[in-house]
Amino acid sequence: LPNEEEREMLLEHFLKPVENKEEQIDISKLSKAFSRTSPRTLQTIVQEASLLALVSKEKVNQEHLMKAFEVVMIGQSNRKTTKNKEKERYIISIHEIGHFLTNFKQTLKENDNNIEKTQEQMKVIKISSENISRVNALGYVLSESDDMLLHSVSELEKEVRILYGGVAAEELIFGKENITTGSANDIEKITHILKHLFVETSAYSESKLKLDGLDILEKEAYSAMEEKAAELYKDTLEILEEDQALIKHLAKVLIERWVLSKEEIFEEIKSYNEEILV
């Protein structure tokens, strides 16, 4: 797949024949956002953006290209499925805010509580409480992928906590007995990551063996996986526990607006913290 510089060149190439476009399109920013995309996918994104602009009777702009990226990568979003279901929308919003805040709190700690640096480093594009039928999602956090080919154990553990953030927020706000099945896709991803760490790479073992099919050793690895999963889920609950009021506040804002960009949610967090400190 093309790297960031190559994606920038490809986007310039595919946008060149588009006559009806805004002059102020930040190709560099788009290239960063469109990581892990093939040349064919980039071309499809430009074509989709042209269609979106045609429908809205506007010139192709940054917003059209970002929306096209979302449509091509995960599908068209809509508000019909949950429009009149306030209870479900609140649960969905709590869940998605949980993912975001777990990411935010860990990244903030890594940056010694520097919120500006944290905002710059986080790859979140937006949080949405809209439905995407293609991936059977009632809400989602859209983020940039990274171009890194290797990930450390600590990075993967951080990712597991982020994935646990949705169900952990549900447990804290609604109680353990009221968590929903909305985290099924998150749990599947977590299982894949932990299997990779324990069974495929023996990341926590001195032996460094691939344990697939080694019967007893594989069973021991799965037992260790369960212990690590419980540890990381407990970590996630602790990360979010003191911010339950903030979770509720941000969920309320998300319900009202349906979608929050990274910039908007950081503004809300800063504003909320200022009010608390007054």
Which amino acid, 117? K
Does the pLDDT at position 205 exceed 90? no
4 neighbors 147 (Cβ within 8 angstroms): yes
**Dist CA 94 CA 175 (whole Å):** 13
CATH of the domain at 107: 1.20.58.760
* Bigger pLDDT: 204 vs 241: 241
Examine the domain organization and report whether 138 and 205 are in the same domain. Answer: yes
CATH of the domain at 14: 1.10.8.60
Q: pTM (2 decimals)?
A: 0.88
Quick: pLDDT tens for 24-61. Answer: 999 999 999 999 899 999 999 999 999 999 999 999 99
Does the pLDDT at position 278 exceed 60? no
Examine the domain organization and report whether 101 and 64 are in the same domain. Answer: no
> Which 3 state secondary structure label does DSSP give 142?
strand
| Residue ending a domain, choose from 34, 54, 74 | 74
Examine the domain organization and report whether 33 and 147 are in the same domain. Answer: no
Q: What residue numbers bound the domain in which 41 lies?
A: 4-74
Nearest to 104 by CA among 250, 229, 254: 250
- In this prediction, residue 77 has a pLDDT band, given cuts at 50, 70 and 90, of confident
Mean pLDDT of the chain: 92
Residue 137 pairs in a beta bridge with 132
Residue 20 lies in a domain: yes
Count of the separate structural domains present in the chain: 2
Quick: pLDDT tens for 122-162. Answer: 999 999 999 887 777 889 999 988 777 789 999 999 999 99
Residue 41 lies in a domain: yes
Residue 80 lies in a domain: no
> Which 3 state secondary structure label does DSSP give 125?
strand
Residue 189 CB: number of other CB atoms within 10 A?
A: 14
Examine the domain organization and report whether 148 and 68 are in the same domain. Answer: no
* Bigger pLDDT: 179 vs 80: 179
Q: What is the pLDDT of residue 259?
A: 95
Examine the domain organization and report whether 271 and 194 are in the same domain. Answer: yes
Nearest to 225 by CA among 188, 195, 185, 187: 195
Does the pLDDT at position 214 exceed 70? no
